[in-house]
Structure formats: C-alpha cells, structure tokens
Amino acid sequence: MVAETLWRRVWEARWSYVFMAPTLVLAILFTFYPLVASWYISFLDWSGLDSDREFVGFANYVEAVSDPYFWNAFGRTFAFAAVTVPGTIGISLVIALVLNDQALRMRVVFRTVFFLPVVTTTAIVGIVMSLVLNPFDGPVNAALLYLGLIDRPIDFLGDPNLALWSVAGVYVWKWMGISMIYWLVALQTVPSQLYEAAQVDGAGRWRIHRHITVPLVMPFAVVICLIGFVGALQTFPLVQAMTGGGPAFSTELVEVYIFRLAFAAEYQPRLGYASAVAVFFGLAVLVLTLAQAWGVRRAATSQRELRGGRP
Amino acid sequence: MTSIPQTAIAEPVTSLADEAARRPPVRRRRSYRRELVVTVILLPVCLLWIYPFLWMVSASLKTDTEIFGSVSLIPEEIQWENYARAWYEANIGPYFWNTVIVTVASVAIVTLTTAMMGYVLGRQRFPGKRLVIVAFVATLFLPEGYTIIPIFELVNRLGLSGSLWGIILAESGGAHVIMIFLFAGYFRQLPNELEEAARIDGAGFVRTFWQVMLPLAKPAIATAIILSLMRVWNSFLIPLVLTLARPELRTLAVGVYSFQGENMTDWSGMAAASTISLLPIVAIFLALQRYFVEGVAGAVRG
C-alpha cells in the first residue's frame, strides 16, 4: 500500500522530475560522479589515461601522510588563508563603513572601482601582476625606486621568503570587492533610526559603530568569514599564473601541488596519488568548514539569547 | 546558508542604492566637510586600486623599450600592431572565439537548466525533494581541485576531448547551488493564482512554466546570466586541463597563460592579449554594474 501511494505521488510529480533531469544529469556527470570517482582513483596506482591501473589500497594515503611536499603545501595553504581572510575582511569592512554613508555622492563610483578586480579573469590578472611586480622593469619597483623608498628592486615573486605573501597581497586586492558587497548588505540591515537616535544622544561615530553596528552585523560577519575562508583555499588560477608554485616550491599550495602531480609532472603523471592528496585535502576542508558552521550556529543561538529571544 | 534565499532582486535599484531621501538632514555642514575629506582620500586610493589595469592598457600601446624605460602611462606613439601581433601570431583571435562560444553555450545551458530546477524546487512537491536539496547544498564546500581528475578522465572517455563540448559541458555541470536557490526563491514568491489561471486556460506543466512563469522571472534570469557569465569567462582550471593536449581549443585565460610561458619577453604583446581578454567582461560589468553587485549580494542574503 505504502509503495503504491509513493508510486502515485512520484507519477503525479513526473513533470517535476523531467524538469530536474537536465540539471541532475549534468550534476551527476560533472559533480557527483567525480566526487565518488576521486575516492576510487585514490586507491589506484595510475599514471595516465592509456596506462594500466593497479589497485594499491591505502598505499597512496600512507605515502601522502609522510610526504613533506604535501605537508608543506598543506601548511602553506592554511597560512595563506590565515593571512588573506582577515586581510580581506578587515579592509573590506573599513571600505564598506566609509561607503555606507548615504551622503557620499561618489560612492557608486568608488564601489564600482573596488569591485572591478573581482569580475576580471583571475589567471590573466595573475600574469599582469607578475609583470607589474617584476623586479627589473615592473612599475611597482620603478615607482618605489623613483620615490627613493628602496635602494634596489624588490624581487616580489622571485624571493622564496616573499613570494607567497606577494601572491597573498594580490589575492586580497583581487577579492576584497566581494566581501565589501557582503558588508554593505550587512550594514544596510541596521535600521537608520538607531543611528539617528544615537546621534541625537550625542554619540560619536566610533561609539555608534561600537555599540550599534558591530553587535547587529555580527551574525553576517561569521557567514562572511566562512565564505571568505572557503574561497581562500581555492587559489589555483592566481598562484599558477603568478608563480606556478615557485620559486623553490615556496608558493606551492595544495591545489597547485595536485595539478603538478597529475598534469605537469616532470617524469610521470600520478593521477592516483594526486587524487589521494585531493581527497585528503577535501576532507580536511570539509571538517574545518563543518566546525566553523557549527560555530556559526552556536554564535547565532547565543546572540539570540542575548537579545532576549528576538530573532 | 542552508535556507533558500528570499532574494530581493526584484528591485535591484532600490536595495543598495539611494536611501538618502529617507534621512533627515542632520548636521549638514559637517557632513559636507566629511564628504570632501573622504572623497579626497579615496580618489587616489581608487586610482592605485585600478592602476594595474591602467598600466596594462598603457603597456599594450607602447613598444617594449618604452615599457621598460618610462614611468608615464601615456605612450609616446600608439602601437596598435601589438594587438595585431597578439591576435594573429599568438593566436589570441581563435582563443577569443573559443571563449565566446564556450561562454555563450554554458551560460545558456546553465541559466535554462537552473531555472527549470529552481522552478520545481520552489513551487512543486515531490518525493525526494529533501534529498536533492541536501545533496546540492553539500557541494557548496567542494574545492575545485577535488574533482578535476575524474572530470578529465570522463571527458576523454565520453570522446568529448576533441571539441569545445567537453569544456562547455564540464562548465555547465558544476552544481550551481546559488543559482538554483536564486530561482527557487524567486519562483516561490510568485502568487499561486498564476498557475491556477494557466491551468484553467488549459496550459500544461511545460506551457505554464515557459509562457507564464519564466517570463516573470526576468530579474532572476538577468542575475543568473551575469553570475554564470563571470564564472565561465574567467574559468581557468577546467579549460586548462581539458586543452593540455589540444592547444587549438584553448580559451583566453589558458591562451594568455601559455603566451606567458612561450614569449616571456614580449611584454607589450602580453599586455595586448590581456587587454583583449579582460575588455569584454569589464565592459559588460561597467554597463550592468548594479546587477553584478546585486547578484553577488544575493549570495549572502540567504
């Protein structure tokens, strides 16, 4: 009986399934199947399309755990996120606070300018920036020399101690505009009556922000950080275009490492091992995001309690 | 994040735009001085912010010796042949058309399929709905590098590696959760009477969607087109991997990237190639910047 009514409900909703079919087929082929397949491939010793595959169990994972290149890339990836996320979020908050002023007539122009890098092709921007930061004739070094701020050119991308942070700086510049928009959305949820009341009470700008803006915008802040964190782990186009992981692997983040193993290997591509690294990394990201999402929920709940149960 | 966003894209103009009218003129004079100070500080910051692009355009119009020698942004004599060299010798021409084809096809496929999916999720009930929503939300946190190896293998096995179709389908096949929810949220807030009236007029499921619902969703369609346009035009990893063995199928992002590897010293040519690649998306952005901003803003409203 139950089966029969279920079947009836499915049949009645047949058009719903037909309408979902194109999206589902595409998503199964290019999102869900690759998800499962990368698990399977990670158990193989496999060097390319036409070569033999050999099932090796957990050997790839065992190798990854003791692979210094992987752990270095892993640590660098999170160091990169640890620098770029606060950088992006902080700068964008300051700019959003300035641009949120309705009396500022040119704010749409400013907003457009700050958002512009976001819409441009990351890989191409990376190449342009590698020219801009070039130590020999790049405009940044030329300007710094001209102003007398430095004596000799800085090799932003050629110095292994500096390259990752140069890329991080470009990353912040490239993606700041998105967080800025998020902050503007958040700031506009603050009722303007509150500001007016505070002004009438004679509160200064700083105190207004501290006691009105910050508490009301907090729930958004957590979501913005979460989105920023997930984004900061996906750095392949920028890094590959700016440095290709060099010099001396100093900018080799996990995605770049996976690409090198699978598609740009010096000797033989290692698709199985690359998959194992990808799965390992993906799981680590998932665990971290879930932990953060749990934190978001906790923060939201405690805030609701603080406000006396109001949403 | 998991709730379906109730987006306010119906009125893209009002939400982030002027609310000045509602504000009483508190302390007019001080706000004038403040505005002046802020503007004077922000203008140079903005110039620095877009300086890399100004430099790129300027370098694309200079000779190589002038790029290396001069700090001025204005070229002594405009060198249009940099563009000709990039377009013909560095193959940026074919790459440009490849990118246009991939972008137009993917944007069309993604917009139509996510609109259909969003319509069903927003307005219909069916067994398994929860499962579908959960599965799609879960993909939100999936790093791109995670799936590229199986995608590469799949495209080769399907025999799509010889044409642009491999790239088009792989680009269209990402789970476009944000766009699906955008449509779902939009369709859900349309009144039920519309469907009932359509049914009374004898329209079936398909005609109701195609002739009644979809035309009403124009703002959502505009946002979806812009979001997917931005994603596909700028995509790098998928076209890079899928054209490793087929340079003739490269898109602009991949083409300019390989240009750099092959002609390290041709800065003016590289700058011209980069300008050609960025110009279309920047022009579209400047023309429709409000919708871009609203599209991005929709992601966090959810």
Domains of chain A: 68-306 (1.10.3720.10)
Q: What is the pLDDT of residues A238-263, one digit of tens each?
A: 999 999 887 889 999 999 999 999 88
Higher pLDDT, B124 or B100: B100
Measured distance CA(B295)–CA(A177) in Å, rounded:
13
pLDDT reported for residue B121: 92
Contacts of B228 (CB under 8 A, 6+ apart): B106, B107, B110, B111, B176, B179
Mean pLDDT value of segment B95-120: 95
pLDDT reported for residue A231: 86
CA distance A246 to chain B (A): 14
CA distance B98 to chain A (A): 15
pLDDT reported for residue B300: 62
**B22 pLDDT exceeds 70?**
no
Query: Which one of B74-78, B100-104, B147-151 scores highest in mean pLDDT?
Result: B100-104
**Which of A37, A123, A233 shows the shortest C-beta gap to B143?**
A233
Q: For the whole model, what pTM was predicted?
A: 0.87
Contacts of A172 in chain B (CB under 8 A): none
Cross-chain Cβ contact B254/A184 below 8 Å: no
Tens digit of each residue's pLDDT, chain A (311 residues): 567 788 888 888 888 899 999 999 999 999 889 888 988 999 988 887 677 788 888 889 999 889 999 999 999 999 999 999 999 999 999 999 889 877 788 888 999 999 999 999 999 999 999 999 988 878 888 888 888 888 888 899 989 999 999 999 999 999 999 999 999 988 888 887 888 888 788 777 778 888 888 888 887 888 888 888 888 888 899 999 999 887 889 999 999 999 999 888 877 888 999 999 999 988 888 888 788 778 777 776 766 665 554 43
Question: Which tokens belong to A197?
Answer: 């009341």
**Which of B109, B267, B299 shows the shortest C-beta gap to A131?**
B267
Cross-chain Cβ contact B147/A35 below 8 Å: yes
Question: Which tokens belong to B157?
Answer: 């096995």
CA end-to-end span of chain B: 6
Long-range Cβ pairs for the range B139-142 (8 Å, 24+): B139/A27, B139/A31, B139/A32, B139/A35, B139/B175, B139/B177, B140/A230, B140/B1, B140/B177, B141/A230, B141/A285, B141/A286, B141/A289, B142/A31, B142/A35, B142/A282
Measured distance CA(B254)–CA(B96) in Å, rounded:
11
Mean pLDDT value of segment B230-247: 91
Nearest Cα residue in chain A from B64:
A137
Residue of A183, A174, A294 whose CA lies nearest to A234 = A174
3-state secondary structure at position A253? coil
Question: Which tokens belong to A87?
Answer: 């950088």
Q: What is the pLDDT of residues B52-89, one digit of tens each?
A: 999 999 999 988 888 776 777 888 888 888 899 889 98
For chain B, what is the radius of gyration of the CA atoms? 24
CA distance A37 to chain B (A): 6
Contacts of B20 in chain A (CB under 8 A): 102-103
Contacts of A6 in chain B (CB under 8 A): 127
3-state secondary structure at position A45? strand
pLDDT reported for residue A206: 79
Can you name the residues that pair with A55 across neighbouring β-strands?
Answer: A44
CA distance B143 to chain A (A): 6
Mutation pick from A2, A105, A106, A121 vs chain B, by most beta carbons of B within 10 Å, is A121
pLDDT reported for residue B14: 40
pLDDT reported for residue B242: 92
**Which of A49, A117, A223 shows the shortest C-beta gap to B153?**
A49
Measured distance CA(A236)–CA(A255) in Å, rounded:
6
Phi/psi of residue B4, each to 5°? -75, 125
**Which of A34, A98, A132 shows the shortest C-beta gap to B151?**
A34
Percent of chain B with pLDDT over 90: 37
Measured distance CA(A48)–CA(A42) in Å, rounded:
13
pLDDT reported for residue B5: 41
Measured distance CA(A274)–CA(A259) in Å, rounded:
8
Mean pLDDT value of segment B193-206: 86
Asked which of B25-39, B135-149, B261-275 is least confident by mean pLDDT, the reply is B25-39
Measured distance CA(A228)–CA(A179) in Å, rounded:
8
pLDDT reported for residue B138: 80
Q: Are the beta carbons of B250 and B95 closer than 8 angstroms?
A: yes
Residue of B173, B49, B60, B87 whose CA lies nearest to A120 = B49
Measured distance CA(B149)–CA(A259) in Å, rounded:
9
Phi/psi of residue A46, each to 5°? -150, 125
Confidence band (pLDDT; 50, 70, 90) for B205? confident
- Report DSSP letters for chain B, one per residue: --SPP---TT-HHHHHS--GGGS--TTHHHHHHHHHHHHHHHHHHHHHHTHHHHHHHHHHTS-HHHHHH---SS-SS--THHHHIIIIIT-HHHHHHHHHHHHHHHHHHHHHHHHHHHHHHHH---TTHHHHHHHHHHGGG--GGGTHHHHHHHHHHTT-TTSTHHHHHHHHTS--HHHHHHHHHHHHTS-THHHHHHHHTT--HHHIIIIIIHHHTHHHHHHHHHHHHHHHHH--HHHHHHTTT-GGG--HHHHHHHHHHH-TT-HHHHHHHHHHHHHHHHHHHHHTHHHHHHHHHHHHH-
Cross-chain Cβ contact A263/B241 below 8 Å: yes
Quote the ipTM score.
0.87
Mean pLDDT value of segment B9-29: 45
Residue with tokens 């641009």: A99
CA distance B80 to chain A (A): 19
Question: Which tokens belong to A219?
Answer: 């729930």
**B9 pLDDT exceeds 90?**
no
Measured distance CA(A227)–CA(A281) in Å, rounded:
18
Q: What is the pLDDT of residues A93-145, one digit of tens each?
A: 999 988 987 778 888 899 999 999 999 999 999 999 999 998 887 888 888 88
pLDDT reported for residue A18: 92
